[in-house]
Amino acid sequence: MNAHEIDYQIFGEEMQYVEIELDPQEAVVAEAGSFMMMENDIKMDTIFGDGSNQNKGVLGSLLSAGKRILTGEGLFMTSFLNAGQGKKHISFASPYPGKILPIDLSENQGKFICQKDAFLCAAQGVSVGIEFSKRLGRGLFGGEGFIMQKLEGDGMAFVHAGGTLAVKELGPGEVLKVDTGCIVGFTKDVDYDIEFVGGIKNTLFGGEGLFFATLRGPGTVYIQSLPFSRLASRVWAAAPKTGGKDRGEGSILGGLGDLIDGDNRF
């Protein structure tokens, strides 16, 4: 194997974290901000790119970092190496409520395609690259633009899905229509395109967007019930717009309570 072979265990239900067991000199790479805790003798290092091309010199590192820029990520990732003598453990947490999905790339023909913000961490040696859309319609209206993330190698990778995770096994030619934001990822043989919803009423008043994502088998598709964009829009819609504390929310008086309390400003 080119990637480090790691063992893991996932804990929790709504807010999960993954604990990874590292043998001496084994390492894992992760996105900045996903680290939770680690045992002594694990060495943390900031690396340029995703760490998969470090042995190819400056050019390999630059190419790796450039791919991350195109997917909207930072230039750097964090590497955690077990520099001690025995087995050590390190944990990474979900960024918001949902499920952590373990992907064994050696069982998925060495490739998995996912949305740009789904990647959490992986065994060192896994390449975190880009997958360009070859179709104009998919690129313009597919929700993820022209670029998705591509995980390649033969090691373990971990991605995050918001809310509840659904797994669909598609047979050859079988089609699944999905909200564009609800796609977590899919295996390499799945054909991904977009389809216009159609109908004037659906387009103007449907509230579900103008396009579906169409996924055609064979392959496995992973769907999330709560995309981060949907969660963020609901939080934003519920946030007080006055700049003060909304003490009346949920009470019988409602907004009148704020007037009595003196919180509303005219």
CB atoms within 10 A of CB 161: 27
Closest by Cα among 71, 62, 79 to 3: 79
Residue 243 pLDDT > 90: no
Of 149, 81, 66, 118, give the one whose Cα is nearest residue 224. 118
Q: Phi-psi category of 242—alpha, beta or left, where left has phi over 0 and alpha has psi -120 to 50?
A: alpha
- Global pTM reads 0.77
Averaged over 193-221, what is the pLDDT?
69
CATH fold of the domain at 7-236: Double-stranded beta-helix (3.60.160)
CA 169 to chain CA mean position, Å: 20
Are residues 153 and 105 in contact, defined by beta-carbon separation less than 8 angstroms? yes
Give the model's confidence band at 245: pLDDT under 50 very low, under 70 low, under 90 confident, else very high. low
CB-based burial of residue 178 (10 Å sphere; 0-12 exposed, 13-18 middle, 19+ buried)? buried
pLDDT higher than threshold 70 for residue 64 = no
- Asked if residue 17 has pLDDT above 50, the reply is yes
- Do 204 and 197 meet the contact criterion of CB atoms below 8 Å apart? no
Radius of gyration of the chain (CA): 22
Mean pLDDT for the stretch of residues 92-121: 92
